[in-house]
Structure 1
Amino acid sequence: MAEVVSSNYDVLLYFVAIFVPPVPVFMNLLINILLWILGWIPGVLHAWWIISKSEGAM
């Protein structure tokens, strides 16, 4: 099994999740909503990226 290295953004989300768990989830949701407002394709691409990133968790 390959080891996955977290980005700085992921580390920030992990840290925030310790104190306020819903905030990191909302941050990803907010980013997706903003991308969707900018256009359907950026929103879909971000959603696919989130899904593929969490594929092992399902």
Structure 2
Amino acid sequence: MPLTGSDIIKIVIAVILPPLGVFLERGCGADLLINILLTVLGYIPGIIHALYVKSYYQNARRSMD
């Protein structure tokens, strides 16, 4: 299944503001707290985690369809 416009926007947001990207994907929970911590400790780990969360839950949603 190809990426939609909203998927691309979420990826861009995840690169610019990693915690916001995780919040849009998962809401306020453990994933968001982990991402905030990673972003504070180093911006790159926060980006990697945000893209991982986006990819993981996107694939999980698509496999359920």
TM-score (norm 1): 0.53
* Aligned residues with identical type, % of pairs: 44
Residue in 1 that maps onto 2:3 = none
Q: Which structure: larger Rg? A: 1
Unaligned runs of 5+ in 1: 1-24
3-state SS in 2 of match to 1:54: helix
Which structure 1 residue ranges, 4+ long, deviate > 4 Å from structure 2? Answer: none
Q: Which has the higher contact order (CA 8 A, sep 6+)?
A: 2
Looking at structure 2, the residues matched to 44 and 30 of structure 1 have their Cα atoms a distance apart, in angstroms, of 14
Residue in 1 that maps onto 2:49 = 46
How far apart are residue 55 of structure 1 and its match?
1.3
Looking at structure 2, the residues matched to 27 and 54 of structure 1 have their Cα atoms a distance apart, in angstroms, of 14
